[in-house]
Amino acid sequence: MAALGFRVLYKDGRSRGRVGELTTGHGAVATPAFMPVGSQATVKGISPEELTGLGAEMVLCNAYHLYLRPGHRVIEEMGGLHRFMGWSRAILTDSGGYQVFSLAPLRKVTDDGVTFQSHLDGSLHHLTPELAIEIQESLGADVAMVLDECLRYPATAAEAEAALARTTVWARRCRDARRRPDQALFGIVQGAHYPDLRARAAADLVKIGFDGYALGGLSLGEDKPAMHAAIEASVEELPESAPRYLMGVGTPEDLIEGVERGIDLFDCVMPTRHGRTGWLFTSFGRVLIKNAQYARDASPVDPACACPVCRTYSRAYLRHLFLAKEMLGVRLNTLHNLHYILTLMAELREAIQGGSFSEFRDRFYATREACRT
């Protein structure tokens, strides 16, 4: 079985935006696509059946978390990650590189790999590129990621160059370690906020050869122009025939800007995390549902939204649930946010296919600006 298929179906005439189809062993994914994050083999509070109903075709799970608990071998014995979590559609697993650098209280990076302390019990582990592939192959994801070194922002040019060189070497080791022909492998472009390093990293990864290419280490504190420049420098060096994945980016504005610059896949915890903290995405901007102004508001969160939450519940009720710390409130908030983001991606695909992406983008920003005035 081929690891992955990808074809571009439509291109926007005034940007790099494109509509494509990603073919995996667990079904096709229409791109540009957003992957809800299920780090620990679950999208928090949402069942696989609900995700399917929302239109999700691919989710992200995290090799770092699943390696530490319950263990990749346990999941392998249980029939693989799809069966373990009851999800029959596509799965992408992150290698855990970002979590090692963001969660581990103790870590030491060498050319061989990274030694880190578990955030769960303090135990020490040594993660190498080869182990990162072993873990992801045991999990059985449709798409695996190489191990990369992600830097905190801001990073000096020297730090970024050193991490980039190490990441490229690790990428080659990951490619050489892969054994499953039914699992795709994506390289990860690093280089911090330096466009020249991003371009070099992308070109080097293309020479090694991967099924797709991700852009990591962005949206970590750099301003939007810097992030956009890094995306553009990377995409310029990546092949048109391969999918491009912008890691960890998920505001509605960032999704639109990423699509405009030729990105095909996105993931972010923002829809679910915002749901847990009471922030709701709407067609006119964000709503903080706990605000007193909604105490007697009988209207839906977003009158323009067709999700089950907006069809059924009032802002006043959602505010009550949130303040009462009822778990239903968090679930409803999360369902609404995921519906909003997944619907936005469908609308972006439709706009590109219909040749109206620029008009869609202009309307999106005009609506938000009108609601701020």
373 pLDDT more than 60 = no
Q: What is the pLDDT of residues 198-217, one digit of tens each?
A: 999 999 999 999 999 999 99
76 with 209, same domain: the answer is yes
333 with 196, same domain: the answer is no
Q: State the average pLDDT over residues 286-293.
A: 98
Q: Are 245 and 186 in contact (CB under 8 A)?
A: yes
240 with 367, same domain: the answer is no
Structure tokens at 327: 């778990």
Q: Are 307 and 342 in contact (CB under 8 A)?
A: no
The most distant pair of C-alpha atoms in the chain lies apart, rounded to whole Å, by 61
Q: What is the pLDDT of residues 226-248, one digit of tens each?
A: 999 999 999 999 999 999 999 99
251 with 305, same domain: the answer is no
Active site residue 176: no
Q: Are 317 and 300 in contact (CB under 8 A)?
A: no
Q: The domain that contains 36 carries what CATH number?
A: 3.20.20.105
Please give the tally of structural domains in the chain: 2
309 pLDDT more than 50 = yes
211 with 304, same domain: the answer is no
Q: Are 206 and 189 in contact (CB under 8 A)?
A: no
28 with 137, same domain: the answer is yes
59 with 188, same domain: the answer is yes
SS3 212: strand
d(CA 97, CA 121): 19
188 with 335, same domain: the answer is no
Percent of the chain with pLDDT strictly greater than 90: 92
| pLDDT, averaged across the chain | 96
214 with 351, same domain: the answer is no
218 pLDDT more than 80 = yes
Quote the pLDDT of residue 2.
Answer: 56
From 142, 211, 267, 302, active-site residue: 267
Q: Report, in this order, helix, strand and coil percent for the chain, each rounded to 5.
A: 45, 20, 35
Count of CB atoms situated within 10 Å of the CB of 88: 12
Range of the domain at 240: 5-268
d(CA 151, CA 265): 22
Quote the pLDDT of residue 35.
Answer: 98
Split at pLDDT 50, 70, 90, the class of 152 is confident
With b meaning 16 or more CB within 10 Å and e meaning fewer, what string describes 344-363?
bbeebbebbeeeebeebbee
Structure tokens at 6: 């990808």
Active site residue 112: no
28 with 173, same domain: the answer is yes
Structure tokens at 145: 């990621």
Quote the pLDDT of residue 102.
Answer: 84
d(CA 146, CA 134): 11
332 with 184, same domain: the answer is no
Q: Are 23 and 203 in contact (CB under 8 A)?
A: no
Percent of the chain with pLDDT strictly greater than 70: 99
Quote the pLDDT of residue 98.
Answer: 86
CA-nearest of 31, 80, 83, 38 to 59 is 38
Q: State the average pLDDT over residues 75-89.
A: 98
Quote the pLDDT of residue 96.
Answer: 85
d(CA 282, CA 335): 13
d(CA 169, CA 172): 5
97 with 214, same domain: the answer is yes
Among 268, 302, 328, residue at a domain's last position: 268
Among 268, 301, 316, residue at a domain's last position: 268
From 94, 148, 254, 264, active-site residue: 94
Cα 192 to its chain centre, rounded Å, is 18
Quote the pLDDT of residue 350.
Answer: 98
Cα-Cα end-to-end distance for the chain: 55
Residue type, 358: S
Q: State the average pLDDT over residues 258-271.
A: 98
Q: State the average pLDDT over residues 60-76.
A: 97
Q: Are 93 and 145 in contact (CB under 8 A)?
A: yes
Quote the pLDDT of residue 371.
Answer: 81
pTM of the model: 0.97
Q: Are 117 and 105 in contact (CB under 8 A)?
A: yes
Among 268, 284, 303, residue at a domain's last position: 268
Quote the pLDDT of residue 1.
Answer: 43
100 pLDDT more than 90 = no
